[in-house]
């Protein structure tokens, strides 16, 4: 009986060692994949920063002004002036129509019934 327990214990140790070995390799693969993803995220962020800088460079006011002047005959763009905007009192707001009709009003004041 004692030898049976020795064999079961030895097989358990071998099984646990095999399981730990597999888990170690799975963990190493997951860490490698995480490092690759972090590197790709870093590269994408640096590319995004470069694209934002390029966008800011291309949208400089002096450059846009030059482009508007070059393409004036085709586009007819003029600089914005304060006279081109309307005043708030000139805006025609739609009339507010209420579909809610109070048929039985309720007194809720604290002075009412006491």
Domain that holds residue 52: 2-75
* 90, part of any domain: no
* 92, part of any domain: no
Number of domains the chain is built from: 1
**Residues near 113 by beta carbon (within 8 Å), at least 6 away in sequence:** 107
* 111, part of any domain: no
* 51, part of any domain: yes
Instruction: Give per-residue pLDDT as tens, 11-60.
Output: 999 999 999 999 999 999 999 999 999 999 999 999 999 999 999 999 99
Single pTM value for the model: 0.51
* 91, part of any domain: no
């Amino acid at each position: 009986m004692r030898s049976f327990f020795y064999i079961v214990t030895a097989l358990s140790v071998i099984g646990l060692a095999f399981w730990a070995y597999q888990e170690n390799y799975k963990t190493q693969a997951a860490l490698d994949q995480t490092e690759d993803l972090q590197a790709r995220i870093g590269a994408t962020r640096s590319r995004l920063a470069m694209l934002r800088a390029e966008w800011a460079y291309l949208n400089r006011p002096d450059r846009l002004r030059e482009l508007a002047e070059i393409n004036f005959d085709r586009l007819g763009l003029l600089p914005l002036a304060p006279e081109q905007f309307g005043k708030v009192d000139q805006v025609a707001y739609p009339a507010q129509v209420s579909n809610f009709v109070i048929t039985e009003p309720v007194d809720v004041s604290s002075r009412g019934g006491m």
